[in-house]
Chains A and B, each alone.
Chain A
Amino acid sequence: MPEKRVRHNPVVAVVLSVLFAGLGQLYNRRYVKGILFIIIEAAFLMTFYNFLNIGLWGLITLGEIPKVDHSIFLLIQGLVSVIIIAFAAALYYFNIMDARKDALRLQRGEPFPSLIESCKNAWDKGFPYIFVAPGLVMLVFIVVLPLLFMVSLAFTDYNLYNSPPRKLLHWVGFTNFKNLVSIPIWQDTFFSVFSWTIVWTIVATTSQIALGLFLALLVNDPRIKFKRFIRTVLILPWAVPAFVTILVFAAMFNDKFGAINRDILSAFGVMIPWMNDPFWTKVALILIQTWLGFPFVFALFTGVLQSISRDWYEAADIDGASRWQKFRSITLPHVLYATAPLLIMQYAGNFNNFNIIYLFNDGGPAVRGQNAGGTDILISWVYDLTFTTNNYNMAAAISIIIGLIVSGFAIYQFRRTRSFKEEGNI
């Protein structure tokens, strides 16, 4: 048992390892570890110092000389630097805590683990980090970094007329958001697109859920035969890739040669301008989305319906409950309780349902006095602003608004999971 070293001071160890990783460990007489840490930090600084230095400078200034400094690359380098620094800070925190822990041990006179033991400890403690690391790195660079980049763009003046390398970008604060609600053309477009997005989300999703629920109840009726076959057919629209069916519908709804007008409605002597009148395009979109979306809800509800115990209904029968009462008090609560988060996800999914809007009619028809099409929802408007008119800054600002709304959906999900967490399921 080593003697106690009362004069050994953990504060000194902490201060030393804040100054440079590994110094605290040396002070704790853990020479191998200390030297290892020193080498790692030195290597880190040598490799990344220039990169981080330029990155942070670029993030703050976005470049100073036009045609030499490329603001966009500097912005990305800046964000990457911030991420690297965050990782490094986490490791540094670990280094400081480690020095403190060892110093306390030394003070109390506890023995240190041998090199082999500490390797094994590191493997046990570090194992989950090793497993998470590859995925985490990919996630950070492929999902998180692009989102941060998008958020940053919303606070710059990046558009078709002001784009690198010819010109430099500048940070402009909340100007883009102010323009969105104050410049008439943006204001008009924003409010009409936003309100259609809400209507679209609510009407399309609710009708696909209602149809799915209705069909699940019908097919679940004990008197119905060939259940397996019926269910398979009803799930078909979900099984066929959506991009194919939407394009097929786009052809079928075509005003001039589409099958709907030519083969079906012509029997009644009606021609509906599906593609050229915003109102009818909206109707068509909602019909198509219902067609595409109900099978998922149907499959989901079918599974839940089969899991509701018969006892509930038998008890209700004894009490003389009507069919409607049984539905209201037994079926509906069961079904909704089990599927609520997934149904909310359906709303979130339609809120950002880019594919159908883009593939059916590219957000058209065009509307006078607006820079979005008559059926554009927020996400498809963002696409047009980005890839067609290169209004990157406005597209990014709208993306942030989408992001805030999507986070609202996510917070709802948190609550669900948190309430379950207390039951010890996580």
Chain B
Amino acid sequence: MSRKTKSIIEVTLIYLFIAFMFVVIAYPLLWTIGMSLNPGTSLYSATLIPENASLEHYKWLFTSPQSDYLTWYKNSLLVAAANSILSVFFTALIAYAFSRYQFAGRKYGLYAFLVLQMFPSLMAMVALYILLNMLGLLDSLWGLILIYVGGQIPFNAWLVKGYFDTIPRELDEAARIDGAGHLGVFFKIMLPLAKPILAVVALFNFMAPFTDFLLPSIILRDPDKYTLALGLFNFINDKFANNFTRFAAGSILIAAPIAVVFLFLQRYLISGLTAGGTKG
């Protein structure tokens, strides 16, 4: 067998395997889209390619008086926006101090971030429930935001600090010679130069509340306060098969924009993670 034929066979096999992966990846996603277009709410009679496809579930979500979808969307947007802005703010402050200053507890602080980001947030939920109850923030979106913002600090402070470390210190020093103080360096040098990573932190913190159902399910009680993920989860939590087509429609409306944004941003996340991972 000549070298060329061997190469052609190899390339064909590679393409075949990639094609197989395409099918495996696409099947569940297309199936979900198919479900959402099936008329009727039952999964029993639904088929992958519906005979008489309709957008009735999408219409139902937005127009039916029984549907809280728009309220949930509004709640999610509020939580997401607040979480994103506050997270960037607190994380940038901490990352700046850890990247540029020597102070007592700095080293152990960094280690603490590493350990804390590994603990699953589930372990804290009982205590968070009681704490929010004591503060009167149970069943409130601001309580939820507070926990999101606090909980993201260990991971993102690490990520942003890694990025700040790559900004040359000569720039700070030059700015200081020009008369900039601590705050001047922060606002005029660090923040503008760290825009890419801050944008990533902002966007990921914006998207996180759209996909988290667990924390809201413990904190929020009133259906008017539900976020999208929790609301959709409750759709099918009780009567799994009977609401599935509606769930599919509602999920696609969240998943599609998130997936698009994510595909554009994932390489920033990857480069941030590898930088943080190797530079410490």
Contact = CB atoms under 8 A, between A and B. Distances in A.
A354 B90 CA distance: 28
Interface string A283-322: 0000000010000000110011000000000000000000
A392 B254 CA distance: 35
Contacts of B1: none
A97 B277 CA distance: 37
Contacts of B122: 352, 354, 379, 382-383
Contact of B18 (A218, A239, A392, A414): A218
Contacts of B128: 142, 146
B255 A244 contact: yes
Given A132-B93, A146-B123, A243 B114 contact: no
A342 B124 contact: no
Contacts of A386: 125-126
Contact of B154 (A143, A250, A379): A143
Interface string A211-234: 000010011010110000010111
Nearest to A392: B126
Contact of B120 (A129, A379, A392): A379
Interface in A135-188: 135-136, 138-139, 141-147, 149-150, 153
B123 A72 contact: no
Given A239-B266, A342-B274, A147 B124 contact: yes
Given A135-B90, A243-B229, A303 B267 contact: yes
Interface stretch (B62-70, B74-82, B145-153, B192-200): B145-153
Interface string A368-409: 000000000001001100110000100100010011001101
A409 B118 CA distance: 8
Contacts of B116: 139, 143-144
Contact of A304 (B7, B48, B267, B274): B274
B149 A248 contact: no
A236 interface: yes
- The A interface is mostly helix, strand or loop, or mixed, namely helix
B97 A132 contact: yes
B153 A300 contact: no
B28 A245 contact: yes
B177 interface: no
A410 B35 CA distance: 43
A123 B184 CA distance: 14
Contacts of B210: 241
| Residue with the greatest number of chain B CB neighbours at <10 A, chosen from A123, A233, A249 | A233
A138 B150 contact: yes
A365 interface: no
Contacts of B28: 245, 248-249, 252, 291
Interface string B224-261: 00000100110010001100100110010011001110
B14 A221 contact: yes
A44 interface: no
Given A233-B22, A238-B262, A248-B32, A143 B153 contact: yes
A138 B153 contact: yes
A251 B43 contact: yes
Interface of A: 72-73, 76, 123-124, 127-129, 131-132, 134-136, 138-139, 141-147, 149-150, 153, 215, 218-219, 221, 223-224, 230, 232-245, 247-252, 254, 257, 259, 263, 291, 299-300, 303-304, 338-339, 341-342, 345, 348, 352, 354-355, 379, 382-383, 386-387, 392, 395, 399, 402-403, 406-407, 409-410, 413-414, 416-418, 420-421, 425-426
16 contacts: A129-B103, A135-B90, A135-B93, A139-B154, A149-B130, A215-B21, A223-B14, A236-B259, A239-B263, A249-B28, A300-B270, A348-B118, A379-B122, A382-B122, A402-B120, A406-B120
Given A223-B14, A250-B240, 10 more contacts: A73-B130, A127-B101, A129-B103, A134-B93, A143-B119, A147-B119, A239-B266, A241-B211, A303-B274, A338-B278
